[in-house]
Amino acid sequence: MKIITIKREKVAENLDKNLAILGLVACSILILWLVLVVGKYVEAGVTAFLACATYLIIRKRLLVLGPSSLQALALNRPAYLILNIAFFALFTYSLLSVDLRPELYSRPLGYFIAIAIMVTILAVEILFLPRGKAYESFVLVKIMLIALSLRWIPQFIFPGLIGVDPWGHQMFTAQILETGSIPGGYPYSNLPVMHLIIVATSLITDLSYKFATMLSISLLHVVGLIFVFLLGRFVFDSKVGLLAALLLGVAAYWINLGMGIHPTTLALVLVAMLIYMIFKARQERSIILTCLYLLVMGVLILTHTVTALCMAILLFSFWFGFELYKKMYRDRFDVPVTLWLAILFTVAMLSWWTYVSGHITAVAELIKYGFRIERWVLAEPMVGVSFSEWLLYMLGFLLFYAFSIIGVLPMLTRRLGNRHSFALVLGGLVLLAIAFLSVPLGLTGVLPQRWWWNSHLILAIPAAVGLFSVCSWFKGKFSRALVLATLILVLSFFSITAAGANFDNRIYTKNTAARYAFIESEFSAMDTISKISDGKVGVATPAARFYLEFNRNVPVKEIAANLSTRDFSNCTGMIVMIRDEVVKNYFDFTGGGMKLDYDPREALVEQGFSHVYDCGSVSAFWKR
């Protein structure tokens, strides 16, 4: 028994080192599997390998100093003032650059450069932030200004909604406004929280759906970064909390969530709020906080299915993490997340799905479909796109997870972490495993993109710890500031210019960003075509399909398969709509995307279709 205890203590003492070495071995195997079997996604394995290797390099110095050593760094008043003047000067320039932009539907390159430098300035300011709640609050305000700019400006630039699903949510919300009740028979008839918030905002402000959504859900999405900060401060310290909020605010996936508004946007804010309140309630033994988080749990169940499922998985992961920490480090404390709490939430969620909303059937179908472990034919995200273009698109995403892995390792140790960081990291790794493994395994029913969003929320804190850990390896204030500034500048620029966050200015190439918002002439063309059509309309993208189906009540067929094969023989008897955007640039279709290497308008004419409409940006063809 004594030998077992000694071995357990030995393992626990060097847990981070052992896991990093194990990670190197696992990543080597993963890379071989991705190269030999899957044939793609190798960059993910290489990123994880380099992250583990980096941690092993910096570990020795990190154990002596630790990321918390950066708490002692502080700015003098003149330097603090200069950084803030530079920040607001750049913020003003970013707004003016958009207002004076040469292209109507595109933010200029200067805007993105200014935002990336602003993020860098904020990161350096956080590194040297003086102690005090006033300083922390001011940084949070600036973080939210950047986040709002990245989410709201594209919505101001384009005349309609951004994304695909928002068109369906607009239709559902409009019916609530018209009838004064929640209509039945829709997927969100029993999950109406987001729509009711938008309805309330619209009634109070008399704003249209788009601007009511911006003022409510999009704004809440940005304000939710406060809970990320509070959680980071609770688990680690204020500087980690602030940097985590900043990283999440400029993460491409989260920018996308704040532009193309759907229930996940609101639901993830509720998840951040819940985790913080649950951790805090047990520590302070607060009955008020306990009642509040139980209420928010109910609201989450009424908001979104996948995110509620994510919360259930996190609760079980947290409970297991706390219990494992107790046994591994022989610690005694009241577990903040009990097994009964996880079971209570899961039973409530499944009961609502089974007896009220009926989503249990849909979830069962997704599981049945997703876990057949078959090859996902649409798993290749960009057909006809080179690896270098794909890597530029993914660089910000990969760097975020690289620093997350670096930060995960010290947060699992007792010396550099604590029980809350241990449990939080375990939950984040579970979500990351679901997100990553579902893609190369072809588990399409798992809805991989949703789990990337979810894992971003939890792993933003380890990413901040990872960045500070790398900085702490260097000696001297200037060296640390320079390293952090360089890393943040690269990470933030590639994040805010990635396709999910930037679809209006194709900075790297035309092959890596689909524009999923319509310009004025495209709306005019779709409205005209919907009036002259007496049957189906063939469209290339799901956004066009949702607009015509939900806003113009026109039956639609997606023709992405026809565009890929160049065969339109089964499109007779319908109007085939071809946008100039689809002809010239990369575009998304249901389940994937492609870049055409021919002009489908010429192919349609060659196959006997008549050119019946053309406004420059949109053409229409018809064949009896």
| Domain locations along the chain | 1-65, 520-622
The answer to whether residues 245 and 232 touch, using CB atoms and an 8 Å cutoff, is yes
What integer pLDDT is reported at residue 369 of this predicted model? 44
pTM of the model: 0.91
- The tokens for 80 are 């603090």
Question: What is the spatial distance between Cα 500 and Cα 515, in angstroms, rounded to a whole number?
Answer: 10
Dihedral class, residue 153 (left if φ above 0, else alpha if ψ from -120 to 50, else beta): alpha
Cβ atoms within 10 Å, residue 331: 12
CA dist 208 → 361, 552, 584 (Å): 34, 18, 32
What integer pLDDT is reported at residue 68 of this predicted model? 56
SS3 for 515-542 is CCCCCHHHHHHHHHHHHHCCCCEEECCH
Q: For residue range 236-269, what is the model confidence (pLDDT) as tens digits?
A: 889 999 999 999 999 998 999 999 899 999 999 9
What integer pLDDT is reported at residue 167 of this predicted model? 93
What integer pLDDT is reported at residue 452 of this predicted model? 82
AA identity, residue 493: F
What integer pLDDT is reported at residue 379 of this predicted model? 34
What integer pLDDT is reported at residue 65 of this predicted model? 63
459's CB contacts (< 8 A; 6+ apart) are 400, 401, 404, 408, 428, 431, 432
Which residues make beta-bridge pairs with 577?
Answer: 620
Cβ atoms within 10 Å, residue 185: 5
Question: What is the spatial distance between Cα 146 and Cα 266, in angstroms, rounded to a whole number?
Answer: 19
Instruction: Report, as ranges of residue numbers, the positions in the chain whose pLDDT lies below 50.
Output: 1-4, 369-382
What integer pLDDT is reported at residue 220 of this predicted model? 95
**Residue 245: closest CA among 464, 538, 431:** 464
Question: What is the spatial distance between Cα 209 and Cα 216, in angstroms, rounded to a whole number?
Answer: 10
SS3 443: coil
AA identity, residue 389: E
The answer to whether residues 302 and 256 touch, using CB atoms and an 8 Å cutoff, is no
What integer pLDDT is reported at residue 364 of this predicted model? 59
230's CB contacts (< 8 A; 6+ apart) are 241, 276
Question: What is the spatial distance between Cα 18 and Cα 14, in angstroms, rounded to a whole number?
Answer: 6
Question: What is the spatial distance between Cα 262 and Cα 167, in angstroms, rounded to a whole number?
Answer: 10
Question: What is the spatial distance between Cα 233 and Cα 452, in angstroms, rounded to a whole number?
Answer: 23
